[in-house]
Every structure is written in structure tokens, then in C-alpha cells.
Amino acid sequence: MAAQSNLKNMVMVLGLTCLLCSAILGGAYALTKEPIDAAAVAKTNKAIGAVLPAFDETTYESVDVDGKTYNYYKAVKGGETVGYAVESTVVGFGGPLSLMVGVTPDGVVHNTSVLSHAETPGLGAKCNTDAKFMAQWEGFDPSAKILSVKKDGGDVDAITASTITSRAYTEAVKNALAAVSVISSGIEKSNVEEEKAHE
Amino acid sequence: MEYFLIIISAIFVNNIVLAQFLGICPYLGVSNKLSTATGMSMAVCFVITLATLVTYLINKYLLVPFQLEFLQTIAFILVIAALVQMVEIVLKKVSPSLYQALGIFLPLITTNCAVLGVAITVVTKEFTFGLPSHMLNLGEALVYAFATSLGYGLAMVIFAGIREHLAMNDVPKAFKGVPIALVSVGILALAFMGFSGMVK
Amino acid sequence: MSKNFKLITEGLVKNNPTFVLLLGMCPTLATTTSAINGLSMGLATLFVLVLSNMAISLIAPVVPDKVHIPVYIVVIATFVTLLQFLMQAYTPAMYETLGLFIPLIVVNCIVLGRAEAFASKNGVLASACDGIGVGLGFTGSLTVLGLVREILGSGSVFGWNFIGGNDGMLAFVMAPGAFLCLGYLMVLFNRFFKKN
């Protein structure tokens, strides 16, 4: 069975095993790095595609709103901005709740998608599966509806028995809309400045 | 305030055994008697805190700068195994009485997934604790690890108490041993669910 | 060949890791929120179990006795990390669902237990069969537990909802249900399979 132990062969076998295993893993890491990155990119692209109208290409940018940085993808089609997909993270019931919120330049929510969450399975986690809850975000116009859950006097239908998750979700959308208003006002401002410069 | 939230969260809301399912094997294995349960809890407490300190530093100053994060699992488990051995040797020399109390539990701890679980969690997961979600810094990680192991001890001691009573009762044959223990833990977990959502 | 076949079938019932040997409780309880999650976790463990059993049966004769545990752990950790890469690349959604419990296969007592008790003393083929048998037994119990919890907790089978609406008994998807279901399943297993 097992070989006799002495210091020399113990160190040698252990060292050799570690070295060999690290080498194998290094190789495997190099080989799988590309598909892993591709999978992550595919996930993000899927989320962007789900929350925005059709577009040609996106650029990754960031904006500061009230001391918080928001990363967003600006989607362009035929030279015209068709929307912004904003990554918005808030504190949910069980931990961080991260959304991708698609907003068209007129300030209307195009759609939303959950990037990651730590909500209770079967309750808050339904924010990712409950068809009724998810459908109401499609085309949500904050100028026509009040962006808070019905319990707080708004127009958002909460998930049954998960008011806190629904509130957090609503807050994430609200933050994303605020970010977009800063983004587009910034762009308008620069347009105005450009126009002034033309004069 | 933040540390207070971490402590409450780790002990009650996200109890490592009853909500996160880590360290179940020793939990079921040594909870027959209150005295062994206390000994095991203290040993786990000691090792989890120490292991988190070491793995956190190794991850931050060795694995991340050299882009070797892919060796995380392998490095952490080796560090934990070596650490447990060292703790055993040091305890034997420095404090024979403490070694008497904890010694027999130490070899079991290497394969206690609570230790590796906490070590990996603190360097990979984002937490909130009333703040915007962020990675834990060293101080928070240590408080989290220590509080988590206190939660382990709490669950262990409560359960050992229950089991000492169970042993005196007439349990149906098919339920004897682990099955009735699991059903009891289920009810205990149900009670701990009352804490959920208290700290985010 | 019949000997190897017997090794496979023994892992399923007689040496069932969950119900008889009571090993690997953490992933058993944590990842069985639905049948498909339980099945995936079982298959992930099967992958590591078979490969580490084979590798360890090959190297066991040259490993000095005093360092055999650390060496086995390094070998197991290597296969677990390989599995992590593969899952991240090709099944990222499932990798996220199972989360922490994939790296924790390293400390799953089943894997190290089989390495110690079987692979270090037997040939490659027999060790592989042992790995398949125990792995399938583990996968089977996880799938059954996941199925029961999914039926009770979400009213669905492998994602197919049979009660319409979402009025399952939620406690069964959450932590308490895991302990209760496993406890009662073990009672049934003891009642019908354990003959003594």
C-alpha cells in the first residue's frame, strides 16, 4: 500500500502534487477563460437586449447621481440614441438586489430585468419569475403613473407577501430613472452649449 | 452600528447551520451531549476566526495581486488544513488544559465545510448590512467570521439540549437517531425563520 | 465485470451516501430546493468523485502515509476547480444557483471518504465504478429530496407546475422544509430498505 514516510519523500510528493495540480489548473484556466468571459458577456447582452428596443451597438459609460455611481449601456441605432440600460443595485429583503433597467430617452421604462438577487425563494425571489409583477414594468411611464407600491399610495402591484422586495425593486427603478434624467439633461445641456457656440 | 448589524445578522438572521446549511455533519455528529457540543463550538469558533484572517490576507495580498484567484479553493483548503495542524501543535505545547478541551475536535474541523464556507464567502460575496452593497474589509470580515461561529455555537448548544431530552423519550424505531434529530432541527429552523428580514 | 457492476449497484441502496452513510449533508440540504437543482448538484459531485477516485487510485502507491490526506485534498480540490471553470463557462446559470456549494465539494466527506476507504486500496477501474455507484446514489437521493420539496413547496415537478398559480407550501422550499423532508425520507428509507 502506501510508501514509507520520510521527510524527503513527504516534501517531494506534496510539493510535486501541488506543482502539478497548479500547472493543470493554470492551463485549464487559460483554456476556459475565453468561454467564461463570453458567458458573462452573453448574460449582460441578454439582459440589455431584454430591456431595450432593437439597437445596433452599445457603449459602456457611467454617471454620478447624488454621490452614487451608476454604470449604464447607451444603445444607439442608426446614429440615434434609442435607450439606456442602467445597472441599479439596492438593498432588498435578503441582501443586494441588482437590476438592469431599460429607459428610453423620453424617460419611460422600456423593461426591467433582474441581474442578481438574494431574496427569499418562493416569496421575494418571484420578482424574477412572477409574470404579473414583471409585465407591469414594460412601458411604465412615470409621468402617468406613480412609482411606488400600492400600499404606499402608488401604482405598482406588489408581489404577494413580499412588499419589501417590491419596494426595493421600485426604488431601483426610481434610481435608474433619476440616473437617466441626469444623463439626458447632461446631453441636452451639451447640445444647448453647442447650439450657443454655433450662434 | 454596522458591526452590531453584522453580529445580529450572522448569529440569528443568517444562522450558519439553520439558514445556510454549513457544518451540518459535525452538527449532527457531536450534538449528543451538551459538554461535547460546547467543546466543538469553541474549537470551531477559534478556527473559523483564525482561518478567515489568514485566508483573507492570502487572498488580498497573494492571490489577487498575482491574478491567481483560480487557485482560491485549493489554497484555502490547504491553508485551513495546515492551520488546524498548527493550532493543534501550539495548543498542546502552550496550554495543555485547553488542548484537553478542544484537542479531539480539531482534526474533525478540516473537513467542516463551515470553515471553508465562511472563508470563501467573505472574499467573494457582497454584503449590505444597512450600507450600499460592498465587499467586506478585514475588520468586517473578522467580525462576520466570529459572529458566524457564535451562531454555530448557539445552534449547537440549543440542539444538544434538545437531544439530551430526546434521548430519554420513547421514539418510534424508524425515527431513532438521525431522522428524529433532523425533524427537530427542522422545527428549530422554523423558529429561527422568525428573524428573517430583520437585518438586510 | 460483474464485480464492478456490483460496486455500482451497492452505492445506490446498500451504501447510499445520504440515507445509510449519512455523508455530505450540507449540499444535500442546501441545494435541493427543486428536483433539477438536486440533480445538478448530484451530477457535479459524481464528476469530482469519479475523477478523484481514479486519480487517487493511481497515485496512492507512491504517496507517503503521513502526507496522504493533504495530497488527496489537493487532488480533489484540483478537480473541483476544474468543475468550477467548466460550469462557469458552459452552465453559468446553474453555477450561480448552486453557488458556494460547488467549491465546497472539496470538503464533502463523501469524496474524501471514498478516496480513503476505497480508491487508495483498489485499482483504477474498480475505483471508477465505486465513484459512479456512490455518485449515482448521491444524485438519486438529492433528486428525490429535491422532487419532494419541489412538489410540496412550489407545486411543480422539474419546473412543470401542476397546481396552477403559485400556492405551494413555502416552508418546504426554505431551510426548515429541508430538514423536515430529509428526516421523514430517512424514516421511510429505514422502514422499507433497512433489514435488521
Question: Could you give the CA distance from residue B8 to residue B29 in angstroms, rounded to a whole number?
Answer: 26
Using an 8 Å Cβ cutoff, are A126 and A161 in contact?
A: no
* Predicted pLDDT of residue A1: 47
**Considering the domain boundaries, does residue B200 fall inside one?**
no
Work out the average pLDDT over C162-169: 72
* Res. C108: pLDDT tops 80: yes
C25 lies within 8 A of chain B by CB: yes
Answer yes or no: is pLDDT of B155 > 90: yes
CB of B189 closer than 8 Å to CB of B18: yes
In the stretch 124-153 of chain A, residues with CB closer than 8 A to chain C read 126, 130
Determine the structural domain holding residue B79 and report its residue range. 9-195
Average confidence (pLDDT) over A10-27: 88
Q: Does residue B98 lie in a domain region?
A: yes
Query: Residue B182: what pLDDT?
Result: 92
Average pLDDT, chain C: 88
Pair B24, C25: CB distance under 8 Å:
yes
- DSSP, res A145: S
The pLDDT > 90 percentage for chain C reads 45
Q: Is 50 exceeded by the pLDDT of residue C31?
A: yes
Q: What is the pLDDT of residues A59-115, one digit of tens each?
A: 888 888 877 888 889 888 888 888 899 999 888 887 788 899 999 888 889 999 998
Which of the four pLDDT bands, split at 50, 70 and 90, describes residue A170? very high
pLDDT at position C165 is 63
Burial classification of residue C74, based on how many CB atoms lie within 10 Å of its CB (0-12 exposed, 13-18 middle, 19 or more buried): buried
Distance from C-alpha of C115 to C-alpha of C107, rounded to nearest angstrom: 12
Q: What is the mean pLDDT of residues A31-49?
A: 88
Decide if A95 and B71 are in contact by the 8 Å CB cutoff: no
pLDDT for residue C192: 83
Inter-chain CB proximity C100 and B120 less than 8 Å: yes
| pLDDT classification of C81: cutoffs 50, 70, 90 | very high
CA distance A36 to A29: 9
Question: How many Å apart are CA B167 and CA B32, to the nearest integer?
Answer: 9
Q: Judge whether C170 is closer than 8 Å to chain B, CB to CB.
A: no
Which percentage of chain C shows pLDDT scores above 70?
A: 96
The domain of C112 spans 2-193
Asked whether A171 and A101 are in contact (CB, 8 A), the reply is: no
Name the more confident of B178 and B55: B55
CA distance A55 to chain B (A): 31
Domain-located, residue B50: yes
**Dist. CA C42–CA C32, nearest whole Å:** 10
> What is the predicted ipTM?
0.86
CB-CB under 8 Å, A9 with C65:
no
The chain-wide mean pLDDT, for chain A, equals 84
pLDDT higher than threshold 70 for residue A199? no
Residue A117 CA to residue A93 CA, distance in Å, equals 9
**Cα–Cα distance measured from residue B189 to residue C5, given in angstroms and rounded to the nearest whole number:** 41
pLDDT the model gives residue B149: 94
For residue C12 the three cell numbers come to: 445506490
- How many domains are contained in chain B? 1
Q: Is residue B83 included in any domain, yes or no?
A: yes
Predicted local confidence at residue A189, as pLDDT: 52
Q: What confidence tier does A188 reach under pLDDT thresholds 50, 70, 90?
A: low
Share of chain A above pLDDT 90, in %: 9
Q: What is the mean pLDDT of residues C41-62?
A: 94
Put simply, the answer to whether A94 touches B132 (Cβ < 8 Å) is: no
pTM, two decimals, is 0.85
Does residue B133 lie within any of the structural domains? yes
Label residues A87-96 b or e (16+ Cβ within 10 Å = b): bbbbbbbbbb
Are the beta carbons of C82 and A28 separated by less than 8 Å? Answer: yes
Q: What average pLDDT does this structure show over C160-172?
A: 76
Residue with more model confidence, A189 or A130: A130
Task: Determine the pLDDT at residue C145.
Answer: 94
The pLDDT value recorded for residue C40 is: 94
Mean pLDDT of chain B: 87
The lowest-confidence range among A132-136, A163-167, B106-110, C15-19 is B106-110
- Cα radius of gyration (chain C): 17
- At B130, the pLDDT band (50, 70, 90 cuts) reads low
Domains in chain C, number: 1
For residue A63, list its beta bridge partners: A70
Distance of CA B14 to the CA centre of its chain: 12
pLDDT band at C154 (very low <50, low <70, confident <90, very high): confident
Residue type at position B18: L
Mean pLDDT across B6-30: 88
- What share of chain B has pLDDT > 90, as a percent? 32
Task: Mutation target for C interface from B21, B71, B83, B183: give the one with most C CBs within 10 A.
Answer: B21
Cell numbers linked to B93: 505545547
The answer as to whether B74 is a domain residue is: yes
B interface residues, C as partner, C-beta within 8 Å: 18-25, 28, 70-74, 77-78, 81, 110-113, 115-117, 120-121, 173-175, 178-183, 185-187, 189-190, 192-193
Helix B113-124 with B72-94: angle, nearest 10 deg: 130
**Which chain A residues are within 8 Å of C156, Cβ to Cβ?**
none
Share of chain B above pLDDT 70, in %: 96
Residues B89-126 pLDDT 10s: 888 888 888 788 776 777 778 778 899 999 999 988 87
In a 3-state reduction of DSSP, which class is residue C29? helix
Give the helix/strand (H/E) hosting C4: helix C2-12
Q: How far is Cα C115 from Cα A154, in angstroms, rounded to an integer?
A: 60
Average pLDDT over residues A13-26: 89
The pLDDT value recorded for residue A69 is 84
**According to the model, what pLDDT value does residue B53 have?**
95
Model confidence over B67-89: pLDDT tens digits?
Answer: 888 888 899 998 898 888 888 88
> Residue A88 forms beta bridges with which residues?
A99
Q: What's the mean pLDDT in A103-128?
A: 85
Place of cell 410540496: C152
Chain-chain contact of A2 with C85 (C-beta, under 8 angstroms) = no
Candidates B71, B173, B186; nearest CB to C176 = B186
Distance of CA A117 to the CA centre of its chain: 10
Mean pLDDT of B176-182: 88
